[in-house]
Amino acid sequence: MEARTLGKTDVEVSPIGLGCWQFSQGKNITGRMWSVLDQETMDAVVDAALTGGVSWFDTAQAYGNGASERALSAALQHRGVEPGTVVVATKWLPIAKPARDIPRTIGTRIACLQPYPIDLFQVHSPGSLSSIPAQMREMARLVRAGKVRAVGVSNFSAKQMAQAEAALRDEGLTLASNQVRINLLDRRVESNGVLAAAKGLGVTLIAYSPLAQGLLTGRYHDDPALVRALPWGRRSRLSPSRRFLTPAGLARTAPLVAELRAVGEAHGASVVQVALAWLVTHYGDTVVAIPGASRPEQATVAAAAMDLRLAEAEMASIERISAAVARR
| CATH number of the domain that residue 185 is part of | 3.20.20.100
Backbone angles phi, psi at 76, to 5 degrees: -65, -40
The catalytic site residues sit at 63
Note whether residue 319 is domain-resident: no
Note whether residue 275 is domain-resident: no
* Separation between Cα atoms, residue 180 and residue 11, nearest integer Å: 19
pLDDT in tens, 182-219: 999 999 999 999 999 999 999 999 999 999 988 899 88
- Domain limits at 62? 11-213+282-307
Note whether residue 172 is domain-resident: yes
User: What is the domain count for the chain?
Assistant: 1
* Separation between Cα atoms, residue 14 and residue 221, nearest integer Å: 30
Note whether residue 194 is domain-resident: yes
Note whether residue 262 is domain-resident: no
Note whether residue 303 is domain-resident: yes
Amino acid present at 191: S
Q: Which of 47-56, 73-82, 236-245, 249-258 comes out lowest in average pLDDT? A: 236-245
Q: Which of 68, 101, 112, 91 is nearest to 155 (CA)?
A: 91
* Crossing angle between the packed helical segments 158-170 and 194-201, to the nearest 10 degrees: 20
β-strands 204-208, 18-19 pairing: unpaired
Task: Say if residue 127's pLDDT is above 80.
Answer: yes
Task: Say if residue 286's pLDDT is above 80.
Answer: yes
pTM: 0.94
Distances (CA, A) of 95 to 43, 102, 133, 168, 236: 31, 12, 16, 21, 21
Note whether residue 100 is domain-resident: yes
Strands (E), the chain: 4-5, 12-13, 18-19, 56-58, 87-92, 118-123, 148-154, 175-181, 204-208, 287-289
Note whether residue 248 is domain-resident: no
130-157 burial code (b ≥16 CB/10 A, e <16): bebbbbbbbbbebbeeebbbbbbbbbbe
Distances (CA, A) of 135 to 104, 125, 142, 278: 13, 11, 11, 34
